[in-house]
């Protein structure tokens, strides 16, 4: 069994990250309804390009002092996919973990996921996750704040509880290394 982990840091003002993202997107595709993002007021958009954002994000992650981050080989890191999720009242994510299409049953040891919160609602929308350890499983939840960056392995089961009124907006990137 793999021990899962999650690192949470706050990047502060998200404007630098937002500008880098929106200045470097080359293509988008609405994939609403085909992902773990659910609810009547949910939108998910797949992104291409994003080179400026990806460089900024990787440079930021490299400087985080954490044992789990130090195991990442940044010389070989590459982005696999990027997307934005926008949720309004009653939006949520079902429990899931990231994987290559068709490989949901496999655990990938050299892949990480990132979630950067650009906006958060006033209530609800907590990020929940299940940590698997040799001694058993533990369920946790985080009430994210604007600017929170979550980093975790693909093998971490996670989701988002239904949210209250207001916008929840995150940019998400999966990497392999």
Residue 76 forms part of a structural domain:
yes
Number of domains the chain contains: 1
Residue 37 forms part of a structural domain:
yes
* Separation of first and last alpha carbons in the chain: 20
Residue 21 forms part of a structural domain:
yes
Report how far residue 57's alpha carbon sits from residue 20's, in angstroms, rounded to the nearest whole number. 10
Q: Could you read off the pLDDT of 155-172 as tens digits, one per residue?
A: 899 999 999 999 999 999
Q: Comparing 34-38, 130-134, 138-142, which segment has the lowest mean pLDDT? A: 130-134
Domain that holds residue 70: 7-176
Residue 1 forms part of a structural domain:
no
Report how far residue 32's alpha carbon sits from residue 106's, in angstroms, rounded to the nearest whole number. 25
Residue 2 forms part of a structural domain:
no
Q: Among 168, 176, 172, 17, which Cα is nearest to 86's?
A: 168
CATH number at residue 163: 2.60.120.620
Residue 94 forms part of a structural domain:
yes
Q: Could you read off the pLDDT of 101-122 as tens digits, one per residue?
A: 656 555 567 889 999 999 999 8
């Amino acid at each position: 069994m793999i021990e899962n982990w999650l690192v949470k840091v706050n990047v502060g003002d998200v404007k630098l990250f937002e500008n880098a993202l929106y200045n470097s997107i080359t293509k988008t595709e609405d994939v609403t309804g085909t992902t773990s993002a659910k609810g009547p007021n949910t939108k998910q958009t797949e992104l291409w390009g994003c080179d400026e954002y990806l460089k900024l994000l990787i440079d930021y992650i490299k400087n985080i002092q954490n044992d789990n981050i130090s195991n990442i080989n940044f010389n070989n890191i590459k982005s696999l996919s990027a997307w934005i999720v926008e949720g309004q009242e009653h939006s949520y994510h079902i429990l899931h973990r990231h994987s290559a299409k068709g490989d949901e049953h496999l655990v990938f040891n050299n892949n990480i996921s990132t979630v950067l919160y650009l906006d958060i609602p006033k209530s609800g929308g907590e990020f929940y996750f299940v940590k698997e350890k040799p001694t058993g499983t533990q369920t946790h939840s985080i009430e994210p704040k604007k600017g929170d960056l979550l980093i975790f392995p693909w093998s971490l089961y996670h989701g988002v509880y239904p949210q209250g009124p207001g916008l929840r907006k995150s940019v998400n990137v999966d990497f392999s290394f």
